[in-house]
Structure 1
């Protein structure tokens, strides 16, 4: 029972971080996607949703899960074990950066952040040291850490680097034998894309998680220790950019689903040129969406946006 309670408390606090990363009036994804994102069963997810409902954070009725207010520190549940897994720390920290609550150039108070993220200071120091290579944080000359932040230049450079990595993965994947496990993953993802396309009018908010799963599957065929950390940062940033700009969100997500399906079809054909063309089209669209999202968040002027550069 204690282990189950610990799992619930950790997942509940992570769900609070997910809610905090959005806006009042936004919707949470489906129970299945929440279970996958939080790493718990749907039973625990329903318990979490009930707790969010009771706390006045959420309106929950059937598939409708609308955020009524953003959480505060008092909403978090104390953990029996202050040490959270590294992947949880990683997600919490990147969500904190991507909420734009703290401007670039802010010194990081390790002791304060360690308490906020429920980790010992030495674990946060180790995490920041590893994250330093991604360009989001940097060591200060006299000790400590500086948040470099998510800027327009960072977004453009990251998008270009993402294209290099992902097109390499596509070139690798298209020639893999049909017995490779990735093809079964793509079969399942294709079904999920068709399912979401059929209910896109009501569940378009669910796309960002499906997008993340799709790109993780593509990149899983290439193992390279030097880009693993970058892939995690890329995956989370390109997950969040679908939520930053609410204008025409349903139409954008429907178009992205069609582009994903086109990539899968081209990969199955075994035609490398067609697969690269389909992937390139989607990456350019994604870059345009990211830059448009930066404009909405006042991080980049309109005249600086050139989606096809």
Structure 2
């Protein structure tokens, strides 16, 4: 497949994605605007419009381009492979949210972000849809996507369910034999936590990925499809905390490192009572910090962050 043909296929699929945000009967922008939006030549835009007209997706007459129907999956054109995996896309997207400190109600430009993460626009649309079921992103009324917040009740329920899952995982882990791979993983995590603790002043952002690995390592000892799916929302809320106040992030992460090391020490000592107590303490701190740090905002439907202090 030639580069020109590949550019056409990518532009065509991106144009399909854009048409998916319109309603039948609405008009498409002028060719010049489409060319700018798709970042391709007007020649490629015309070729894409001609194909869409022939497929009865649009009606094109002169300058008038009217959407006749929403595109279907079968309308898409095959493109070259090589895109990153869904897991890597999730990791890169969450890391971008953390580093850029993306606030609630930020519009998410699918075209720009699909280029940033080097995935087809339709794949990024599907990725956002997978997050939308948790209420973390949503479609905008007139098309496109945006980051959204969550209510205090959502955060409380999330924290309480996380407590149940992780305490259960700790008990499962302690029942594993001494030659199980998890013990080597915990030893490696202990060393990484200690190294990060020594350079926390300039590398505190690095804690998020280490935090995720730590909790995933413990949680992975329980083979449960529902817990695995739940880890996606855990990552977005607790590990990447895209809506947290960043002013004391260094101190929070430093304290969390100490709490992680206390859990690891109790696990390596095979002390279940101490491990469960250290885990409860860490997750309670995480819950309180989350609730105290939520930024207040008013969502369009009246829901949003509440500025309440966490319960004592």
TM-score by length of 2: 0.58
Specify the alignment match of 1:175 in structure 2.
175
Q: Is the 8 A contact 1:97 1:150 kept in 2?
A: no
Superposition deviation, residue 151 in structure 1:
1.4
C-alpha distance in structure 2 between counterparts of 1:243 and 1:145, whole Å: 20
SS at match of 1:134: coil
Give the unaligned 5+ runs of structure 1: 1-79
Task: Tell me which of 105, 110, 130 is aligned to 1:103.
Answer: 105
Give the unaligned 5+ runs of structure 2: 1-79, 299-303
C-alpha distance in structure 2 between counterparts of 1:296 and 1:262, whole Å: 33
In the superposition, relative to structure 1, how do residues 220 and 255 fare at CA in structure 2: closer, same or farther (>3 Å)? same
Superposition deviation, residue 174 in structure 1:
1.6
Specify the alignment match of 1:300 in structure 2.
305
Superposition deviation, residue 185 in structure 1:
0.7
Asked if residue 226 in structure 1 is aligned to residue 226 in structure 2, the reply is yes
In the superposition, relative to structure 1, how do residues 86 and 176 fare at CA in structure 2: closer, same or farther (>3 Å)? same
Specify the alignment match of 2:269 in structure 1.
269
Q: Is the 8 A contact 2:236 2:242 kept in 1?
A: no
Q: How does 1:194-213 map to 2 (within 5 A)?
A: 194-213=194-213
Q: How does 1:69-108 map to 2 (within 5 A)?
A: 83-94=83-94, 99-101=101-103, 103=105
Specify the alignment match of 1:20 in structure 2.
none
RMSD of aligned Cα (Å) = 3.7
- 85-94 vs 278-287, which moves further: 85-94
Q: Is the 8 A contact 1:259 1:282 kept in 2?
A: yes
Superposition deviation, residue 255 in structure 1:
1.8
What does the per-residue CA deviation read over 1:188-216, in whole Å, with 9 as the maximum and x for residues that have no partner? 11112222223334433332222222112
C-alpha distance in structure 2 between counterparts of 1:83 and 1:193, whole Å: 32
C-alpha distance in structure 1 between counterparts of 2:295 and 2:243, whole Å: 13
Q: Is the 8 A contact 1:245 1:292 kept in 2?
A: no
C-alpha distance in structure 1 between counterparts of 2:176 and 2:296, whole Å: 40
Structure whose CA Rg is larger: 2
Aligned positions, number: 225
TM-score by length of 1: 0.59
In the superposition, relative to structure 1, how do residues 167 and 110 fare at CA in structure 2: closer, same or farther (>3 Å)? same
Q: Is the 8 A contact 2:135 2:150 kept in 1?
A: no
C-alpha distance in structure 1 between counterparts of 2:134 and 2:243, whole Å: 22
C-alpha distance in structure 2 between counterparts of 1:196 and 1:92, whole Å: 21
In the superposition, relative to structure 1, how do residues 102 and 271 fare at CA in structure 2: closer, same or farther (>3 Å)? closer
What does the per-residue CA deviation read over 1:26-79, in whole Å, with 9 as the maximum and x for residues that have no partner? xxxxxxxxxxxxxxxxxxxxxxxxxxxxxxxxxxxxxxxxxxxxxxxxxxxxxx
C-alpha distance in structure 1 between counterparts of 2:202 and 2:139, whole Å: 45
What does the per-residue CA deviation read over 1:54-113, in whole Å, with 9 as the maximum and x for residues that have no partner? xxxxxxxxxxxxxxxxxxxxxxxxxx8683322233345556777545529x8x887786
- 153-162 vs 219-228, which moves further: 153-162
